[in-house]
Chain A
Amino acid sequence: MSTVAPPLLEVRGATVRFGVESALADVGFRLRQGEVHSLMGENGAGKSTLIKAITGALRLDAGEILLEGREMRFSSPADAQAVGISTVYQEIDLLPNLTVAENISLGREPRRWGVIDHRAMRARAESALAALDLDVDPASVLSSHPLAVQQLVAIARAVSTDVKVLVLDEPTSSLDADEVAELFRVIRDLKAQGVAIVFVSHFLDQVYEICDRVTVLRGGRLVGEYGTRELLRIDLVEKMLGAAGEALAPLGLREVAPTAEGPSVISARGLASGDRLREADLDIAEGEVIGVAGLLGSGRSELARALTGIDRPTAGDVLLDGEPVRLDTPREAIRSRVAYSSENRRTEGVIGDLSVLDNITLALQAQQGIFHRIGTARRRELALSWVEALHIRPSDIDRPVSTLSGGNQQKVLLARLLALSPRLIVLDEPTRGIDVGAKAEIQRLVGELSDNGLSIVYISAELDEVLRVAHLVAVMRDGVLAQIVPAAHLTSDALLALVAKPDSADSGDRG
């Protein structure tokens, strides 16, 4: 797009204060028609605050927002929607109990003689879904669909209005490669129609693939606005972190050695659970990091949950130090020093209303039971030491965890599990939705823990990440643990091929 075109949406001098802290300080942002613009920055940099201001969920303490040159004052998200600013949030904010058609038209239902016209509503939904080439029954209830489909319905909803600015907040975090390609096709179509798109994502690859321009925030301030074609990735990361881009450097060659050492801490044979996990054989030695890679739905999380007692396996054996065990419940798993960190940080991980202190000491206290209360001083000491060790910010342990950024919440969860001194820890998508800096910290942590003898199973959809942290990679395909390969000399392309490749026994199609 021509750089002389006037901006469609402009933010000037935006300032938001929460008490003494400034979430945003004098930030500017410019968005042009037909442009895909990414907003980048670490968590806590002010991205979501800026987005909330643009979409009407938050009022600016100072500064102005101009749409097509006119100043806007939004008192609610409805005001922003009314002028053509639509948002699709990371946590899908649709109503699971309503149908797809109702969700798409919610708040703007077509009416005939004052009454909702259900047929017209279905027709509108059909055309909105067809525009995105989605095979979804408009009359079906939303909760009957998997999360990835729900997200695409959310996007269909956003584009079914006369949208001028479309804000996509981490839209690809639950989508697989096919779905992401679909989404990008839609984004390009919208771009051609002159819609301006704000694309917030942690996936640098995707940002570089689809976005024209990038605005970088750091610590609530504007660092700058750049074209993606002019900015090297390493420079972008540097601007986000404010330090040399050490985040992207390799963590140090992962030696293959640990597999030769010692007996397995945990072994699984023929493990199966429910529909999704059909067969898995696994051996993990002390200090070994096993990465688990596979497509969405390949059984990665189910493997994690079956291994750690969250789900009861329907078949197979698990052996701990050579002895068969039945890890039927999380309690038993913890007693055997096997810990699990769920991919659903919000619903199965941290307890938002409780403080950092309580969250960290929770599992340990639960393990000790109700009659052996850990003294307050000891608890505080424990929590503070973990906060320091994992660089949890802010370091106030009495704050409710819900006020922390995603990355720090994940660290709190990790601290809680590590406080149990486990021998095996299973991390399911620990860095999802977390900025580059925090990601690197967590990956480094994994390396340190493994050096100290902790065995780790690391599940991630990002193949790069899996290759960087793991000694061995377990490739999941269609519920079967197909192969285990050393990570040392594997490239992410090669791994992708393994993950996607059907065996000669499968049909030609991808799963």
Chain B
Amino acid sequence: MVTLTEDRRSAASPTGSYRRFLSRHISWVPVFAAVAILVVMIAGAMWYFPNFQLNRILSSILLDNAYLLVLAVGMTFVILTGGIDLSVGAVMAFTGILCAKMLGDGVPVAVAIPAMVLIGAAIGLLIGVLVQFFDVQPFIASLVGMFLARGLAFVVSLESIKVENEGLLWLQSTRFSFAGWYITPTGIIALLTVAIAAFVLRYTRFGRTVYAVGGNEQSARLMGLPVVRAKLSVYVISGVCAGLAGIVLTAYSGAGYPLNGVGTELDTIAAVVIGGTLLTGGSGFVIGSMIGVFVYGLIRTIISFSGAEQSWTRITVGALLLLFVVVQRVIVSRSALSR
């Protein structure tokens, strides 16, 4: 048996099993860090605020941020390939207001909802085509999508449109309660999106291709993987999620509003990064993004609990984001050194 590792002798390195764990699960380390932060925050809040009931708070976080969770799932796919999608906030607003308008004009819910998803997919495809076939940087291509969607939202209506449709409102108003926890159909949609995405990424060839493209696109291509299809698909997926988020948000707020989602794409990216997905691509999990969304939601909740200004949310999220990016950098450089 040929032994190939020369550095088994380093006295300073950790024990064999720790090293093995690290060499197998290095991508999970940032996610564990996110979970740790979440746990610490929860523990701190429970200790500090007398009426902080965990089950009620977590349920309400999911309720308030279901749209963000759906967006984060889509964004994870895109970031895993090393790209970015700045259009999601605007697409969400566009599909939201279009949905409200269509419902107001009497279109049945069963038609409106799939239509919104398809529109999101179409804008996503546009962005994907720009990135893949016109070699446009994802940043710019998705910016194009953002302006397009925002403009289209204003074309639909300059003011908010209230939704009276029972079918849509049911998604938000119904609650399934259990032992102090509750969940709405929108929450279920969001969690299902996470579950399906996690499954696809781990158990399908498409999922492996997404990670491969993020790791080294040229290698993936040379290996004969369907790189083009994967790169187009992730933007379509992000668009689908944006369409879905539009529906969720409209159900949540009871109205469509063309100015929804301004800056939401940045919240989404923040949640994904906090959740342990590397911006350079190739490493990350949708479960992590879900943790990131909960961290974001928890920050908002804690701030409102403490009575401070809502703007502190953004500042805190910013600080956390900085922390995570630094942590990611350390992890990346350490794993490169270990070669």
A149-B4 contact, Cβ under 8 Å, with A141-B24, A275-B10? yes
B10→A145 contact, CB < 8 A: no
Task: Name the one of A78, A97, A98, A134 contacting B4, with C-beta atoms under 8 angstroms.
Answer: A134
Bound together, the chains give a CA A41 to CA B214 distance in angstroms of 35
For residue A511, which residues in chain B have a CB less than 8 angstroms away from its CB?
6
Contacts of B225 in A (CB 8 A): 106-107
Residue contact A106 to B212, C-beta cutoff 8 Å: yes
Which B residues touch A95, using CB under 8 A? 211-212, 215-216, 219-220, 282
**Contact among B1, B24, B224, B335 for A135, CB-based, below 8 A:** B1
Q: Taking each of A97, A135, A145, which has the highest tally of chain B beta carbons within 10 Å of its own beta carbon?
A: A97
Q: Is the CB of B339 within 8 A of A97?
A: no
State the CA gap A144–B27 with chains docked (Å).
Answer: 12
Q: Which residue of chain B lies nearest to A117 when distances are taken between CB atoms in the complex? A: B203
Interface pair A99/B216, CB less than 8 Å apart: no
| B160 part of interface (Cβ distance < 8 Å) | no
Q: Would you call B339 and A147 a contact (CB within 8 A)?
A: yes
Most chain A CB within a 10 A radius of its CB, from B7, B27, B202, B205: B205
Q: How far is the CB of A119 from chain B (nearest CB, A)?
A: 12
Question: Is A387 in the interface zone, CB < 8 Å from B?
Answer: no
Q: Is the CB of B222 within 8 A of A143?
A: no
Contact between A135 and B4, CB atoms less than 8 A apart:
yes
List which B166-205 residues lie within 8 A (CB) of chain A. Answer: 202-205
> Of A77, A98, A133, A141, which contacts B212 at CB under 8 A?
A98
B3 to chain A: closest residue by CB: A135
Residues of B within 8 A of A135 (CB): 1-4
Residue of B nearest to A143 (CB): B335
User: B207: which A residues are within 8 A, CB to CB?
Assistant: 116
Q: Are A152 and B204 interface neighbours, CB within 8 A? A: no
Q: Is B51 an interface residue (CB 8 A)?
A: no
Residues of B within 8 A of A226 (CB): none
Contacts of B1 in A (CB 8 A): 133, 135
Residues on A with C-beta less than 8 A from B216 are 93-96
Of A136, A140, A179, A297, most buried by chain B (CB within 10 Å of CB) is A140
A179 and B1 CA atoms in complex are apart in Å by 11
Establish whether residues B282 and A97, one from each chain, have CB atoms under 8 Å apart when the complex forms: yes
B23 touching A137 by the CB < 8 A rule? yes
CB-based contact A98/B218 at 8 Å: no
**Overall SS of chain B's interface:** helix
Q: How far is the CA of A511 from the CA of B4 in the complex (A)?
A: 11
Q: Which residues of A contact B306 (CB under 8 A)?
A: none
Most buried by A among B1, B4, B24: B4
* Contact residues of A between 166 and 225, Cβ < 8 Å to B: 178-179, 182
Whether a CB of chain B sits under 8 angstroms from the CB of A483 is no
Chain B residues near A93 (CB-CB < 8 A) = 216, 218-219, 222-223
Which chain B residues border A257 with CB–CB below 8 Å? none
Q: Is the CB of B26 within 8 A of A144?
A: yes
Contact B339 A146 (CB under 8 A): yes
Q: How far is the CA of A97 from the CA of B336 in the complex (A)?
A: 11
Pick from B4, B335, B339: contact of A179, CB below 8 A: B4
With contacts A141-B23, A149-B4, A178-B2 taken as known, whether A106 is within 8 angstroms of B208 at the C-beta atoms is yes
Q: Tell me if B5 is interfacial: C-beta within 8 Å of chain A.
A: yes
A109 at the interface (CB under 8 A from B): yes
Q: Evaluate whether A140 and B23 lie within 8 angstroms (CB atoms) in the complex, with A95-B282, A106-B225 already known.
A: yes
Q: Which B residues between 1 and 58 are near A, CB-CB below 8 angstroms?
A: 1-7, 10, 20, 22-24, 26-27
Asked if A148 and B4 make an inter-chain contact with CB atoms under 8 angstroms apart, the answer reads yes
Structural contact, B223 and A107, CB atoms closer than 8 A: yes
With both chains docked as a complex, state the minimum distance between the C-beta of B304 and any C-beta of chain A, in angstroms.
39
Contact partners of B224 in chain A: CB under 8 A = 76-78, 81, 107
Q: Does B311 contact A (CB under 8 A)?
A: no
Tell me, in angstroms, the Cα distance from A80 to B220 when the chains sit together.
Answer: 15
List the B residue with the shortest CB-CB distance to A150: B339
Is the C-beta of A51 less than 8 angstroms from some C-beta in chain B? no
In the assembled complex, the CB of A480 is this many whole angstroms from the nearest CB of chain B, namely 14
Complex-state Cα separation, A145 to B223, whole angstroms? 20
A-B contact pairs, 28 of them (CB 8 A): A77-B221, A89-B222, A93-B216, A93-B219, A94-B216, A95-B211, A95-B216, A96-B216, A97-B283, A99-B24, A106-B212, A107-B223, A107-B224, A109-B208, A116-B207, A134-B4, A135-B4, A136-B4, A137-B20, A140-B20, A141-B24, A141-B27, A143-B336, A143-B339, A149-B5, A178-B2, A275-B7, A511-B6
Pairs of residues from A and B, 3 with the lowest C-beta to C-beta distance, nearest first: A78-B224, A97-B282, A95-B215
Task: Apart from A106-B208, A297-B6, list 11 A-B contacts with CB within 8 A.
Answer: A95-B212, A95-B215, A97-B282, A102-B208, A135-B2, A140-B24, A141-B23, A141-B335, A146-B5, A149-B4, A179-B4
